[in-house]
Amino acid sequence: MAFWGRFWTRMVLYALGFWSIKWVYVSPDGAMSSKPPAGFKERRFGGYVSNHCSWVDIVLYMSRLFPSFVAKKEVSKLPLIGAISKAMQCLFVDREARLAAAAAEGGKAAADAAAASGGQGMAQLVKERMERKYELGSAELPMMLFPEGTTTNNKYIMPFKRGAFVAGVPVQPLVLKYRGSSRFSPTWDAMPGHHHIFLILTEPSFGVSVHVLPLYVPSQEEKADPALYAENVRQMMVKYTKIPSCEDTFADKLEFFKYVTGRMADEKLQKGAQVQRPGGSGKAGDAAAGRNGGVTVHAKAL
C-alpha cells in the first residue's frame, strides 16, 4: 500500500505543477545537504512535526514518507479520500465544535486555551501512538503532526499545540518552504477549496523545499513540560529556516476568516444592487448606483 500510495501521490504533485521538490538535510551546525546524514534511517522517534501551509502538504508528505495524520472530522466523510485516510490510520478531530463549546463556556480566552491544548482526548491518542512507535517499535505508520493546528501563509510559524509533545519522546522536525508565482501561492486558503484547486491548476509550476532538521531529543525539563518542549521545537525551526514566529492562534484565524467572508458577502450584495439599479457612468453613475469604493479582499491566511 505504501509503495503505490507514494507513487500515485507523486503523480498528483506532477499534475498540480510541483516539478521542483527538494529535500534538504540540515546538520546541527546549520550545514545543508541533499543527501541524508549517516545513520539517518536508524533514527528512532515518536513522529514527525512540521509547519502547515496548505492541503498540498498532505500529498507532499505522502509521496515520500507516507505517514499517518491528525485530520479534521470532515475529511473522514469525503468520497475516496475518507477511505484512504482511514486506511492510513488517521486520527480525526472536530476542532470547530471544541472551540465553540469552549467559547460558550468561557469566551475567547477559553477558546484560545482549547486551541492551544489540542483537546485532551486527541492528545491522549497521539501520546499513546507516539509512545508505541518510539518505545516498542510499533508497526503502525508514523504520525505526521502539524502542531500549529491550522495552515499559514508560510511567512510565519504560529504557536504550537502541546498534543504532539505530551509523550515526551524524540520528534523529527520538518519545515516546508513553498515557492509560488507572483499571481498565486499554494499557501493561500481564504477561499473555497474548489477555487483553490482551480487556481493551482492554472499555474504552470510551483516549487517546495522540505528542510529535515536534526532529531530533537527532549530534556527532562521538556518531558515534564510539553508546552516548553513545543516552544523549543518551534524556535529550533525558526533558527534553522529563518521563518519568523508569530503569536496568532487558530481562534484568531477564524475571526480573520469571518471578516474576509463577511466583506466578500457584502460586496456581492452591493454588486447585486448595482445590477438591479443601474446608474450613469463615471463618478455620477457610481453615486447613483451606490458604489462606495470598496476593494475586494484576496486574503492570505495568517
**CA-to-CA distance for 293 and 14, rounded, in angstroms?**
41
pTM of the model: 0.77
**CA-to-CA distance for 161 and 148, rounded, in angstroms?**
6
CA distances from 253 to 42, 201, 250, 292 (A): 38, 26, 5, 27
Question: Which of these, 208, 209, 202, lies nearest to 15 by C-alpha position?
Answer: 202
Sorted by where each begins, the domain ranges of the chain are 1-252
pLDDT in tens, the chain (302 residues): 678 888 999 999 999 999 999 999 999 999 999 999 999 999 999 999 999 999 999 999 999 999 999 888 888 888 878 888 888 889 888 765 555 555 565 555 544 544 444 455 778 889 999 999 999 998 899 999 999 988 998 999 999 999 999 999 999 999 999 987 778 888 987 777 888 889 889 888 899 999 999 999 999 999 999 999 999 999 999 999 999 999 988 888 888 888 877 887 788 788 777 776 655 444 444 433 333 333 333 334 44
C-beta separation of 265 from 257 below 8 A: no
Ramachandran angles phi, psi of 194, nearest 5°: -70, -30
